[in-house]
Amino acid sequence: MAKRKQTKSKAKSTTFKRITSIITRIFIWFLLVTVLWVLVYRFVNPPITLLMIQRNMERNAAGKTAKMEKKWVDFEDISDNMKRAAVSAEDQLFLKHVGFDIKAIEKAFKANQKGKKIKGGSTISQQTAKNVFLWPGRSWVRKGFEAYFTLLIEILWSKERILEVYLNVIEMGDGVYGAEAAAQEYYNKSCTSLTRAQAALIAACFPNPIRWTPKKATQYIRHRQYLIMRNMRRLGPLDF
Q: What's residue 87's pLDDT?
A: 97
Give the integer Cα–Cα distance in Å for 123 and 138.
16
What is the value of pTM for the model shown?
0.88
CA dihedral of residues 198, 209, 227, 222 (deg, nearest 10): 70
Give the integer Cα–Cα distance in Å for 122 and 90.
8
Give the integer Cα–Cα distance in Å for 63 and 30.
38
Residue 57 has pLDDT above 80, yes or no: yes
Q: What is the largest CA-CA distance in the chain?
A: 85
Q: How far apart are the first and last CA of the chain?
A: 72
Query: Which residues, including other chains, have CB under 8 Å from residue 218's CB and lie 6 or more apart?
Result: 212
Query: Which residues, including other chains, have CB under 8 Å from residue 51's CB and lie 6 or more apart?
Result: 131, 136, 171
- Band (pLDDT 50/70/90 cuts) for residue 108 is low
To which H or E segment does residue 1 belong?
none
Q: What's residue 101's pLDDT?
A: 80
Q: What's residue 159's pLDDT?
A: 97
Q: What's residue 239's pLDDT?
A: 86
* Rg of the chain, C-alpha, whole Å: 22
Give the integer Cα–Cα distance in Å for 206 and 69.
16
β-pairing verdict for 171-173 and 69-70: unpaired
Residue 189 has pLDDT above 70, yes or no: yes
